[in-house]
């Protein structure tokens, strides 16, 4: 008799909404593990990466994770494809530098201010493009970082091509290491949480079918603005953090890499899951460093791997892992 492969959810006991039963230990571990282990892993990681080089790779990874998260959030919450993560990064980076150099604010304060004020500036810049969709939105956001970078270059304000130097660094290495990791974790969980609220429901619906949302008497521009604001806050934080880390800011804060690599991270990790892009960053960025020894061939290897991942696991690592964790496959008689 013929057989087919069936995929079913792992048997779980039904828990009602307001009864939290403490069951067997294995059951509790099964429920908690997907969130607890990654958090522990991330928090312990700086303790086991002794060399300065490794620390810097870790930090770079976290920064790209933030940008990837920001990209994915825009995609989930508004359905728009942004190619301008570098805009958010650059605005945050320059704002932190200005606040520190001209107003003498300490790093912790500049981080806070440039995250929130920087996001407001970036949102104001992107706001006119919000009615656009698809390729048109992508194009305009791609141009913004170039616009700002060339303005700085041409008018020689803010240090011109030399950039700004002499920016204060963090009080100590532990603050430096944990600040960004904590922010990655906090932002991931907060945004995931947000998408599950009623507010997030509207956001997800906008990316599904914005006309139907408008037909429900909801002003979608407000929601899109909030989404862009939150996403740019992540990017601005990453930029401001980087400025203080290297005590320098230059035109590289608007570089194209900062817009493109986060998208690769999101695609590899699994678009639309928010956690996926973070995982993607933790795969791709260290990988890029590892293949650095291969010289010119590194780009070849890196690209091949990227193509293979997208071709054979287009659902993304996160969706794949989640499916393997939550579901079992078995053969059944037909």
Partner 1 sequence: MLEVRELMVFYENGMAINNVTLAVERGEIVGVLGSNGAGKSTLMYTISGIILDRKLKEQRRGGERITVFGEVVHRGEKITGLKASMRVRRGIVLCPERRRVFPESSVLENLKIGAYLRDRSEQREMLKYIWRLFPNLFQLRSRAAGFLSGGEQQMLAIGRALMAKPDLLLLDEPLLGLAPAVQVKVIEAIRHIREIGITVLVADQYARPLLPIIDRGYVLESGSITLAGTGAELRENPDVRAAYFGV
90-65-303 Cα angle (round to 5)? 95
Closest to 144 in 3D by CA, of 128, 163, 155, 133 = 128
49 contributes a contact to partner 1 by CB under 8 A: no
4 contributes a contact to partner 1 by CB under 8 A: yes
196 contributes a contact to partner 1 by CB under 8 A: no
Region of 52-60, 194-202, 238-246, 312-320 interacting with partner 1 (CB under 8 A): 312-320
Query: Rounded CA gap, 321 and 268, in Å?
Result: 12
Among 29, 314, 325, 326, binds partner 1 (CB under 8 A): 314
Query: Rounded CA gap, 67 and 65, in Å?
Result: 5
315 contributes a contact to partner 1 by CB under 8 A: yes
Size, binding site for partner 1 by CB under 8 A: 13
Region of 2-10, 115-123, 133-141, 158-166 interacting with partner 1 (CB under 8 A): 2-10
Q: Beta-strand (E) ranges in the chain?
A: 3-9, 164-165, 248-249, 327-333
Nearest distance from residue 8's CB to partner 1, in Å?
A: 9
Q: Which residues contact 173 (CB under 8 A, 6 or more apart)?
A: 55
What does residue 168 show for φ and ψ, rounded to 5 degrees?
-65, 150
How do strand 248-249 and strand 164-165 relate by DSSP bridges?
Answer: antiparallel
Nearest distance from residue 323's CB to partner 1, in Å?
A: 6
Cross-strand pairs, 164: 249
14 contributes a contact to partner 1 by CB under 8 A: no
Nearer Cβ to partner 1 (162/315): 315
Query: Rounded CA gap, 252 and 118, in Å?
Result: 17
Region of 3-11, 129-137, 175-183, 234-242 interacting with partner 1 (CB under 8 A): 3-11
313 contributes a contact to partner 1 by CB under 8 A: yes
Nearer Cβ to partner 1 (173/310): 310
Nearer Cβ to partner 1 (56/313): 313
Among 49, 55, 252, 319, binds partner 1 (CB under 8 A): 319
Buried b (16+ CB within 10 A) or exposed e, 314-329: eebbbbebbeeeeeee
52 contributes a contact to partner 1 by CB under 8 A: no
334 contributes a contact to partner 1 by CB under 8 A: yes
How do strand 3-9 and strand 327-333 relate by DSSP bridges?
Answer: antiparallel
Rule CB under 8 A: which residues touch partner 1?
2, 4-7, 312-315, 319-320, 323, 334
């Amino acid at each position: 008799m013929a057989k087919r492969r069936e995929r079913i959810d792992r048997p779980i006991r039904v828990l009602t909404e307001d009864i939290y039963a403490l069951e067997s230990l294995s059951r509790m571990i099964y429920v908690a593990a997907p969130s607890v282990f990654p958090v522990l892993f991330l928090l312990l990681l700086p303790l086991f990466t002794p060399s300065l080089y490794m620390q810097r790779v870790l930090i770079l990874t976290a920064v790209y994770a933030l940008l990837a998260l920001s990209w994915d959030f825009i995609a989930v919450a508004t359905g728009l494809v942004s190619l301008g993560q570098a805009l958010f990064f650059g605005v945050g980076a320059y704002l932190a530098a200005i606040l520190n150099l001209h107003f003498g604010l300490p790093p912790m304060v500049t981080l806070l201010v440039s995250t929130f004020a920087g996001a407001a500036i970036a949102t104001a810049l992107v706001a006119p493009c919000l009615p656009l969709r698809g390729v048109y939105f992508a194009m305009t956001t791609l141009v913004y970082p170039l616009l700002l970078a060339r303005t700085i270059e041409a008018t020689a304000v803010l240090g011109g091509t030399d950039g700004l130097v002499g920016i204060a660094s963090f009080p100590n290495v532990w603050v430096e290491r944990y600040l960004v990791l904590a922010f990655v974790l906090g932002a991931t969980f907060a945004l995931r949480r947000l998408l599950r609220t009623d507010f997030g429901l509207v956001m997800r619906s906008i990316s599904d079918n914005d006309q139907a949302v408008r037909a429900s008497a909801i002003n979608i521009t407000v929601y899109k603005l909030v989404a862009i604001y939150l996403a740019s806050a992540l990017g601005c934080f990453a930029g401001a953090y980087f400025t203080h880390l290297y005590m320098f800011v230059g035109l590289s804060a608007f570089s194209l890499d900062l817009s493109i690599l986060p998208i690769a991270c999101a695609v590899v990790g699994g678009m639309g899951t928010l956690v996926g892009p973070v995982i993607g960053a933790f795969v791709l960025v260290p990988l890029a460093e590892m293949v650095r020894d291969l010289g010119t061939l590194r780009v070849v290897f890196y690209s091949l791997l990227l193509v293979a991942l997208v071709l054979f696991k287009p659902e993304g690592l996160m969706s794949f892992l989640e499916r393997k964790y939550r579901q079992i496959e078995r053969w059944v008689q037909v």
